[in-house]
Amino acid sequence: MSLLTAVYGMLFYAAILALVVGLFLKIWRYWKTPAPLKIPTTPAPTTCTGVVFRLTREVVFFESLFKSSKWTWVFGWIFHVSLALVVVRHLRYFQEPVWWPVTMIQPFGLYAGFGLLLGLAGLWARRFLVDRVRYISTPSDHLMLALLIAIGVSGMFMQYVAHTDIVAVKAFFLGLMRFHWQPLPADPALLVHLGLVAILMVIFPISKLLHAPGLFFSPTRNQTDNPREARHLAAWASALDK
């Protein structure tokens, strides 16, 4: 086994561990932190089903962002949908046989690569062109976009400019998953691509990428509007009644 294979193999084990454990700890914290008061942003659904619909609209269509800023919505939505397609397309490298939905999505996944870059470019442009957004942008905001764009560009480079030995890459990842390591091709574009993805996985639970799980725990979005019908009590608040 080459040093390269060993380093990348360990890197991905570490990255997946950081992602899963980090996210678990964060979500656990969100879960156990109480929301002592009813604070849904009204008008809000009065039933649980309504809340599920509200959250679904937020997750799938970015409803609030649409109300807020059409440009941000266009670029943000294109980016996220493209990213979802691209990620699903990549599942083929982690399974044998490949699920039929993953096979079906392949052509869309390829186009989505362009959508991903377009969306990111639009979002980055706002950080320079809109003075308000320029004011609030930190170095990490720019780096995050640079990281995602670099991942997209290195991936597209392998797709359209210089193919990598994708069969060997798949064997490498299946090997990692089955604890039966296979060699990783020493292709620079591939190594850049995989290295950056590993970085993304590691920083996910310690960065603003927490907006993904955060949305589901946001009391202004996930609470039902029924404070007069049911008494809402957190443990520390109900202790005051005694």
- The residues of the shown chain that bind another protein, judged by CB under 8 A, are 26, 29-30, 33-39, 41-46, 58, 62, 64-65, 67-69, 72, 76, 123, 126, 130-133, 135-141, 143, 203, 206-208, 210-211, 214-215, 217-221, 225, 227-233, 236-238, 240-242
Look up tokens 């957004």; give the residue.
133
Residue 180 or 211 with smaller CB distance to another protein? 211
CB 137 within 8 A of CB 201: no
Q: Smallest distance, Å, CB 14 to another protein?
A: 15
How far is it, in rounded angstroms, from Cα 204 to Cα 209?
5
CA distance to 35, 168, 183, 192, per residue, from 186 (Å) = 51, 10, 9, 11
Closer by beta carbon to another protein, 58 or else 89: 58
Give 79 or 173: the residue with its C-beta nearer to another protein.
Answer: 79
Least Cβ distance, residue 219 to another protein (angstroms): 5
Cβ proximity to another protein: between 159 and 207 the closer is 207
The C-alpha angle with vertex 98 and arms to 95 and 90, in degrees rounded to 5, equals 65
Cβ 84 to another protein, closest distance in Å?
A: 16
Q: How far apart are CA 33 and CA 8, in angstroms?
A: 37
